[in-house]
Structure 1
């Protein structure tokens, strides 16, 4: 569901949610999704601020406090409504009103700070102490809950605690003037901690994605590896058994690659494999799955193409891969490719068995003179 939370659209909210470093789109969406999570902290914060506002208003009994209490109730109700709606809409892949959610978070922080200012300037030190403790307690929740947006966190802390300084100056109480020194340091340190937490979270997310990518992909070409291919074939076989599709496999083996390795070295051979992989990505339809299963052998899984489509792709690959390659050492080399094609029958027992059918077709293509394709005869 995290991928379905909407990215911000307004310039202000885009700036607030920008972590200040380049990140991938999927991590950006996960960070946005984190702003809608940790419901226990959200509920605790809302409950605390409403109770504090209610107690202070009941204690002081002034008009401005009733207005503040009404603002707290409206803002908290709106935030709860948006949060519930956003989580529901995310499940339906609809807009989650992220911009409004961010703005309401700032308004809530402003309301917390407003209550602190009113309490300090009221002259009632019981109310002032309760309001200051409440706003300070909210900072921890703000930092922890909004680690995905450190800029927004800093602004929220400033809105929640900044009025303490303003209230101290208006109240003209000497002891309260100490906040003019304490609070700026506190705001800076907590905001800095939010940026460090964000950096750690982003680094962890990126590391997890890198590890997942390495587990599924070939380290040299970036294509799918053998284990991932077999899993993909198993899913294709399941679809074939349900009658929704009959997948095709193209098993490719490069002709003349060993000579390139022997003459120019394995470094040039690796470079050539990377160039071959790049050409395959250009030639193969996006919905197909390309894998390198070892050495100079590649397999393409086509889920939604018939036999004619597989043969058309094979003809294109014969041409594309046979075009000359320019290596980094200045040498121009030419190789070919032999291809075995097999439509995977619904009766096949496993991915390995399906792969073996295409492998046997490849053997026939090799034995027939190479640089050609052969289609396995399967009923």
Structure 2
């Protein structure tokens, strides 16, 4: 653009035969060079800014340890799903789970070993679940999965698959072998809620029920769990506690 706007000036000044215009002939190439360098630098700055914004947006919605979505990212995806037209989407399920006996791994082998277990768990979940599933780590050893287009029976099957996948032994650095279990609570929309926090609370209540029955179990939300979830929401109780892993 710079060349097209100023390029014709050079032959014009040369053909005019005015000595002073020859100064313009000398200045135009220098000006073109300076403006070109400035344009490339500005373009580089804009690209760097766009990349930084993209990375910040990714970090704001993803867990830095596992690469999965974090709570904010998961709630955003869940709200998008809930906001979809009723006739445009099929029923979906939330599978809420945490790792049984995860705290002893941290206490015995250190937090580095615990982090390895969490990263390996995330990788196993990616392989075991459909690509369309939204997987998130809410914090600590708590995970949640959003699976679309499934019935209650299919959601229970997915929960059992999670239990089988996660409970396989973990081979960690230094020759350490660790074993953890998992319990799963399931809530299906719209049966167990039509809002994000309501569904999360129902799935969390079902998880508590599964753990109280002996762990390594998968339980679907029921009327009782819905009542418990509603009571927690009305009492403004904090989100699912992360100390269940000690149980």
The residue aligned with 2:238 is none
Aligned-residue offset at 1:363:
2.1
Are 1:314 and 2:193 an aligned pair?
Answer: no
Q: CA deviation at 1:355?
A: 1.5
Alignment equivalent of 2:207, drawn from 343, 362, 372? 362
Q: Which residue pairs with 2:232 in the alignment?
A: none
> Unaligned regions of 5+ residues in structure 1, if any?
1-155
- Structure with the bigger percentage of strand: 2
* Paired position in structure 1 for 2:48: 203
Is the 2:91–2:149 contact (alpha carbons within 8 Å) kept by the matching residues of 1?
Answer: yes
Separation in structure 1 between the aligned mates of residue 8 and residue 178 of structure 2, nearest angstrom:
72
What secondary structure does 2:8 align onto? Answer: helix
Q: Residue 4 of structure 2 is aligned with which of 159, 182, 185?
A: 159
TM-score when normalising by structure 1: 0.52
Larger RCO, structures 1/2 (Cα 8 Å, 6+ apart): 2
Using the TM superposition, give the Cα deviation of residue 165 of structure 1 relative to its aligned residue in structure 2, in angstroms: 2.5
Note if 1:251 corresponds to 2:96.
yes
Structure 2: gaps (5+ residues): 227-247
Change (3 A) 1:171 1:245: same
1:176 aligns with 2:31: no
CA gap of 1:346–1:240, structure 2 versus 1, over 3 A, is: farther
In structure 2, C-alpha distance between the alignment counterparts of 1:162 and 1:328, rounded to whole Å? 65
In structure 2, the CA distance between the partners of 1:330 and 1:170, relative to structure 1 (3 Å rule), is: farther
Offset of 1:243 from its aligned partner?
Answer: 8.6
Give, in whole Å, the separation in 2 of the partners of 1:221 and 1:279: 11
- Hey, what does 1:189 align to over in structure 2? 34
Give the whole-Å Cα distance in 2 for the aligned partners of 1:348 and 1:325. Answer: 36
Q: Name which of structure 1's ranges 308-317 and 182-191 shifts more when overlaid on structure 2.
A: 308-317
Aligned to 1:124: none
Aligned partner of 2:218 in structure 1 is: 373
Quote how far apart the aligned CAs of 1:343 are: 1.4
Mapped contact 1:250–1:301 kept (Cα < 8 A): yes
User: For the Cα contact (< 8 Å) 2:94–2:147, is it kept in 1?
Assistant: yes
The CA distance in 2 between the partners of 1:347 and 1:284, in whole Å, is 22
Q: Match of 2:120, SS?
A: helix
Superposed, 1:276-291 pairs within 5 Å as 276-291=121-136
Equivalent-residue separation in structure 1 for 2:173 and 2:108 (angstroms): 15
Q: Which has the higher helix share?
A: 1
C-alpha contact (below 8 Å) 1:255/1:336 kept by paired residues? yes
Distance 1:158 1:330, change over 3 A: farther
TM-aligned CA distance change 1:346 to 1:363, over 3 Å: closer
Which SS does the other structure have where 1:291 is aligned?
strand
- Structure 1 residues 242 and 183: CA distance shift in structure 2, 3 A: same
Report deviation, 1:331: 2.5
Look up the match of 1:267: 112
What is the correspondence of 1:53-202 to structure 2 with a 5 Å cutoff?
A: 156-202=1-47
Q: Is the 8 A contact 1:236 1:303 kept in 2?
A: no
Q: Which structure is larger by alpha-carbon Rg, 1 or 2?
A: 1
Q: Contact (CA 8 Å) 1:338, 1:362: kept in 2 or not? A: yes
